[in-house]
Amino acid sequence: MYHLTDVTKCYRRGSELVRALDGIGLYVEDGGTLVVRGPADSGKSTLLRILGGLERPTHGSVELDGTDLATLTESRLSRIRAESIGLVPRRGDLTPGLTARQNVASALVPLRLRPADRWELAGEALEEVGAGGRLDRIPAELDEAMRRRVALARALVKRPTVLLADQPTAGLDDPGARDGFADLLERLWWQGRFTWIVVTEDDALARRAPRLATMSRGTLTAAPRTHG
């Protein structure tokens, strides 16, 4: 469960102060999915970095299951990141020299599982996202849609509390591949096993959202679900 109160993030750019997030309040229940749609530069990635404990807000609190990520020590924060937060970065960002299975298993290293268990769980996670036939391929041998599936498996293999995805369908130019990946995301959202927050500029993906909000210049507005 996420509970954000008055989250503001300012960056200094030369002599200018950029207010990337401006007083965000947000509640997402356990197992809920929120999709945040907004144009470029509206603050989406900043919001995800703050939800993921990669950055701290300038003001406000970011409670994950009652713990305020804004004020934790760095060591407790990195533990929470490793155990409880699955992040699907923009474009996936797989490690080029590792196979799909090695990429996914690497997410389990901080959890101190035995190598054999890491290996097995990685195989299962890849199976779950439809990449079970590509375990031993390196990223360069996969198409972009399959790389995104591997990145998704890497985020969910540790069974995190929350999954955060930054523009998961961006750059998937093939409409069939993009729809297939959106189908997979939608199926996972409705399973309710994780709390999801997804930011996107893709209206077709936003239309599938169980709950949709709109980001504009650093502020978040709840929006009714739009049916296509």
- Is the Cβ of residue 44 or residue 148 nearer to ligand ADP in the bound state? 44
8 Å CB contact between 161 and 65: yes
- Output Rg (C-alpha) for the chain, integer angstroms: 17
- Binding flags for Mg ion, 27-46, as an x/- string (CB under 5 A): -----------------xx-
Pairing state between β 2-13 and 195-200: unpaired
**195 binding partner (options Mg ion, ligand ADP, none; Cβ < 5 to 8 Å by kind):** none
Name the residue among 103, 75, 69, 78 with its Cα closest to residue 89: 103
28 and 195 Cβ atoms separated by less than 8 Å: yes
* Residue ranges that bind ligand ADP, judged by CB under 6 A: 11, 13, 18, 20, 38, 40-46
- Please report how close the Cβ of residue 58 comes to ligand ADP at its closest, in angstroms: 12
Smallest gap from Cβ 44 to Mg ion, in A, equals: 5
Nearer to ligand ADP, 17 or 109 (CB): 17
Residue type, 107: A
Q: How far is the CB of 52 from ligand ADP (least distance, A)?
A: 13
* Nearer Cβ to ligand ADP (46/99): 46
- Cα–Cα distance list, 148 to 16, 136, 159, 181 (Å): 36, 16, 18, 8
